[in-house]
Amino acid sequence: MVKAFVENRFGLLALVVVALIAMYGVAFVTRPGPVVPVPEGPRKVAVESVTAVCPGTKGEHVNVYLPGTLSGETMRDGKPYVTNGPGGLEAGYLTRAAEGGARGLAGVRCTEPAAETWLVGPGPASADVRLHLTNADKAPALADVQVYAAEGPVSGDKGIGLEIAPGEHREIDLKDLAPSADVMTVSVTTVFGRVAVAARTTLETGGVDWLPAAAPPATRVVVPGIPGGGGRRELLVAAPGESDAVVRLKAVSEDAEYAMKGRETLDIPAGSVVSLDVTTGVGASSAALVLTSPVPIVAGVVITGTGQRSDVAYTAGTPSLELGSAVARNATGSRLVLTALGGPGKVRVQVVPAKGAAEQPFDVDVPAGRTRNVGIKAKGEFALVVTPVSGEVYGGRVVEERLKTGLLITAQPLAAARMWTMLPPLADDPRVVLP
């Protein structure tokens, strides 16, 4: 009977089908689970070349740092100083005036051309604010400048479509764009070409300094390097998008990590800038401020000195020291203000003098949720190099000089070193070839 079934061509076909179904069933049951693709994150890659642009100040000495060495050059005219070099290059200078309308210490980190730059500080209604735009390339550039104030965006179309010829430097008095702004956040967007940005402020009440570049809008912003001591500390926060922001604030001082009483949250209307006095919130302690928001924000702090004639300094939101940092120009009276978040941190600090060999580096431990001052004993001109060892650490460099007429002060948040950069993942996108 079986033989007859097999010899029947339809029976043979049925057996084949049954066998295939059985094999498929076994394969289905024993198949490996689907492989879930791991999302590709940013890659840490070495920077091969750097262009740094310093706003021109005739007669001032620019320090140029390359890993292990520090050199300098005097600016012979008021034109921007442009230097090119390999990865790790930093440049900057300090100006000092004990008298006159420009009295104060002012420090500037020479900037790279960037697609977008954010600045936070006093507005043209309370200070003389000069924006410097430099095209160091041989091709034309086009930039848009937008000023945000307490009442919202205030510059309109006045700063849109600014043409900058090859090699051209433009100095813009922000009174021409936003005369009524008491406090401001400025965004400079490069439409095409390469533009380096800097801004210098001179307060009507006294004090001069350059605004450091702030971290771009983000839902978590850390503003480090707020020095302890007397004087006013004013937090400026902008919500440059189209949504209102409810920002949660936390201070990290030398002794504690806490929400400031009465200043736990800050409401910011869309497109505007809000000012908050945090002087009593941080007390006389060196500190960092941590801001979290459901929508992206930009933040900075105005630091006012003490004495009969007050000076001013600025710090702003900045990334952690994950990629390291270097400050090319320092002087006697310099110190680091370091903050560790989420756990204890450790960094390695090295002094590179203008003359002689680099000093032996030393390690600095920063307790979790605390801010620590690190005095630098070096004298004269020197560079400071900060290398991450462990933990999430943020920082700033402060220079102070005490005069009978009042404290001279300047500050600079520790920006990411130009040794490394985080390259975002790349993906095919047909939009890049579409009109």
> 47-88: per-residue pLDDT in tens?
889 999 999 999 999 999 999 999 999 998 889 999 999 999
pLDDT band at 338 (very low <50, low <70, confident <90, very high): very high
Select the more confidently predicted residue: 295 or 434.
295
Share of the chain above pLDDT 90, in %: 81
pLDDT value at position 223?
98
Mean local confidence (pLDDT), 335-357? 96
pLDDT band at 285 (very low <50, low <70, confident <90, very high): very high
Is the per-residue pLDDT at 258 higher than 80? yes
pLDDT value at position 10?
55
Work out the mean pLDDT of the chain and round it to a whole number: 91
> 141-184: per-residue pLDDT in tens?
999 999 999 999 999 899 999 999 999 999 999 999 999 999 99
Is the per-residue pLDDT at 26 higher than 80? no
- CB contact set of 380 (below 8 Å; sequence gap of 6+): 331, 332, 353, 354, 355
Residue with tokens 């800050």: 266
pLDDT value at position 390?
98
pLDDT band at 190 (very low <50, low <70, confident <90, very high): very high
Mean local confidence (pLDDT), 32-61? 78
pLDDT band at 3 (very low <50, low <70, confident <90, very high): low
Is the per-residue pLDDT at 2 higher than 90? no
Is the per-residue pLDDT at 238 higher than 80? yes
Is the per-residue pLDDT at 290 higher than 80? yes
Is the per-residue pLDDT at 434 higher than 80? no
> 96-140: per-residue pLDDT in tens?
999 988 899 999 999 999 999 999 999 999 999 999 999 989 999
Is the per-residue pLDDT at 211 higher than 90? yes
pLDDT band at 432 (very low <50, low <70, confident <90, very high): very low
pLDDT value at position 421?
76
Which pTM value belongs to this model? 0.88
pLDDT value at position 45?
84
